[in-house]
Amino acid sequence: MTGRDQAERERWIRRFHPAPGATRLLCLPHAGGSSSFFFPLATAVAGKLNVQAVQYPGRQDRRSEPPLTSIDALADVLFHVLDPDDDSPLAIFGHSMGAVVGFELARRLSAAGRPPTALFASGRGSPLLSSGGTVHTLGDAGLLAELRRLNGSELAPLEDQEILQMIIPALRADFRAVETYRPAAAPPLTCPVIAMVGDADPRVTVAQADAWSETTDGRFELLVHPGGHFYLAARKEAVVAQILERLRAEALA
C-alpha cells in the first residue's frame, strides 16, 4: 500500500476509536450527513467493534471538494478505498442514503468474492422499490424545509443559518444521488440483511423497510424502533445492543 493510497483512505474513512483486529463496522451517513454523526455509536462500542465512519466529500473538512451526485459513484470509490489487505470481518451500517450506498457497496464486494458479513439498512425503504423524487430540484428554502421535516425532534434544532447555507450544496447533491438512483439488475446478496426503521418515519413505512427482504438470499430481519427518521439518535443504546447481538450471532463480535 502506497502513502497515496493511505492518504486517500483516510480522507474517506474516519476511525474515532480504532480497534485493530475487531470486526469492522463501516458506517455510511444520511443525506447531508457526515462521519461525526456516528461518533456516539463508535464511543458506545469502543473496544468491541472497529467503527469506520465514512466522510463524503463536500462537508466539514472536505467542504472544498465537490460532492458526488451518484450512489454508484460513491459505492465505486468506497470499494476502492477499503483496505483489501485487512482480512478482519466487515459489516456495513448505512442510515437513509447511506443504506443505499451500503447496498451498492455490498453488491460490489460480493461480486469481487469479498461479501460483507452483514448489512444493516437503517431509515430507508428497499432499493428495489420504485423511488424517484424532486427534492433536489427545489430552491434552497424547499430543500431546508425537507431537512427540517426529517429532522423531527430527534436531533438538535436547525436554526444556525450560516451552517445551513454551508451544507446546502452537499445536501442537494445527496438528494440528487438518492432520487436519481436506479439499481441495476444483479443477483441477490447472500449476507444477512437487517433493516431498521422508526415507526413514525415520515419518509419510510414499515412495509417499505420490510421489503429489504427481497435484496438477499441470506437471513433477513426487520427491527422497528419508536421514533422518526433519526430514531437512532435517541435509541443509541438499543441500536448498539442489536448490532452487537446480531454480529455475535454471526460469530463476528
Map grid coordinates 412495509 to a residue: 207
Catalytic residues: 96
Any alpha helices (H) in 82-221, and if so which ranges?
A: 97-111, 140-151, 161-179, 206-210
Residues in contact with 137: Cβ distance below 8 Å, sequence separation at least 6, in sequence order: none
Query: CA 49, CA 90: separation in Å to the nearest integer?
Result: 10
Query: CA 110, CA 218: separation in Å to the nearest integer?
Result: 13
User: How many CB atoms within 10 Å of residue 100?
Assistant: 25
20, 19, 21: which is closest to 45 by C-alpha?
19
Do 5 and 27 form a contact (C-beta atoms < 8 A)? Answer: no
Give the alpha-carbon dihedral of 5, 173, 240, 206, to 10 degrees.
-140
**Cα-based distances in Å from 158 to 151, 152, 153, 169, 186:** 8, 10, 11, 16, 39
